Amino acid sequence: MTPASVPARPAKAPGFLYASLRVFDLSVGEMLWSRRTIFMALVVGVPVLIALLVRGASALGAPGLHVNNTAVDGPAIFGLMIWAFYLRFSVPVLGAFYGTSLIADEVEDKTITYLFTRPVSRGAVLFGKFLAYVLCTMIVVLPSITVVWLLVTPLGGSLGQNFPDLIKDLLILAAGLVVYGAVFAFIGATFKRPLLISLVFVFGFEPAVLVFPGYLKRFTLAYYLQGLVPQAMPNDSVVSLVQRIFRETPALSTAVIALTAITVVCLWLAARTVSNKEYVLEQ
């Protein structure tokens, strides 16, 4: 028997982690250098612009800032911006958009076939894309928060004293990006209209449930995330006022366990759905 006639041993399929990293490698570039990054830049750029204006106004000798006739310092303004821009808008919206896009984009572009014909598990495709999403959003959102903090906090506050709060905020928002991304990745893999469902969840279900006393709020992500924020929730609307009245703060351990569990379960469910679902591409 000549060596040529020996049937070639099939190459061993790459492991889950290796395959995920390959997909991650492929997806990072696609996600970062796309038009949607403009949207992300806008979302995180406006708070920086406002921080610059506040700092500029202060440098030009504008009178101290007041809220309800009470003077506010830099750390308080930073807290307001964390709530108004990042916690209530940027993190859930970026999570919804990117999370639901992980699989839906490939289906829409009809390129999912190419990914699924590679010798990697479908779960690894989803996980690799999820990792790329986490990296892309974090490298845009977290520096923006840091810049806002650097610009605003020195106005009547001390950088050194407030540094632990910055670290807490960064960790909470990073956790928010991860957990919202995981939930919406599952929604994206399962439902036909994932973005709409995600927006209903973020702007309909969560704010509505948080104003009611009782246990229902434990089915929201905001309950676990917002309870950990070191800064006080601002009273910028009637809804916020009611939310403050019924606000409960979960224990740190409870919040961490709940967020980890939600992330793991949602990612597992998403991977399972992607593995079992037959995606029919529109002609």
Interface positions with another protein (CB under 8 A): 35-36, 39, 42-43, 46-47, 50, 54, 65-69, 72, 77, 80-81, 84-85, 88-89, 93, 96-97, 100-101, 104, 108, 193, 195-196, 199-200, 203-204, 234, 236-237
Considering the complex, what minimum distance in angstroms separates the CB of residue 101 from another protein? 7
Smaller CB separation from another protein, 128 or 194: 194
Q: Decide whether 52 or 258 has the Cβ nearer to another protein.
A: 52
Nearer to another protein among residue 104 and residue 112 (C-beta): 104
Q: How far is the CB of 88 from another protein (least distance, A)?
A: 7
Q: Give least dist CB 160 to another protein, A.
A: 24
Least distance in Å: CB of 209 to another protein? 14
- Whose Cβ is closer to another protein: residue 25's or residue 109's? 109
Of 251, 270, 248, 255, which is closest to residue 127 (Cα–Cα)? 270
* Residue 90 Cβ vs another protein, minimum distance, rounded to whole Å: 9
Rank residues 46 and 252 by Cβ distance to another protein and give the closer one.
46
Q: Helices (H), strands (E): how many in the chain? A: 12, 2
Nearer to another protein, 95 or 123 (CB): 95
**Least Å from the CB of residue 30 to another protein:** 14
Least distance to another protein, CB of residue 224, Å: 21
Residue ranges of E strands in the chain: 66-67, 70-71
Q: Which is nearer to another protein, 193 or 218 (CB)?
A: 193
| Nearest distance, CB of residue 81 and another protein, angstroms | 6
Residue 47 or 250 with smaller CB distance to another protein: 47
Q: What is the 3-state secondary structure (H, E, C) of the chain?
A: CCHHHCCCCCCCCCCHHHHHHHHHHHHHHHHHCCCHHHHHHHHHHHHHHHHHHHHHHHHCCCCCCEECCEECCHHHHHHHHHHHHHHHHHHHHHHHHHHHHHHHHHHHCCCHHHHHCCCCCHHHHHHHHHHHHHHHHHHHHHHHHHHHHHHHCCCCCCHHHHHHHHHHHHHHHHHHHHHHHHHHHHHHHHCCCHHHHHHHHHHHHHHHHHCCCCCHHHHCHHHHHHCCCCCCCCCCCHHHHHHHHCCCCCCHHHHHHHHHHHHHHHHHHHHHHHHHCCCCCCC
- If residue 197 lies in a helix (H) or strand (E), which one and from where to where? helix 194-200
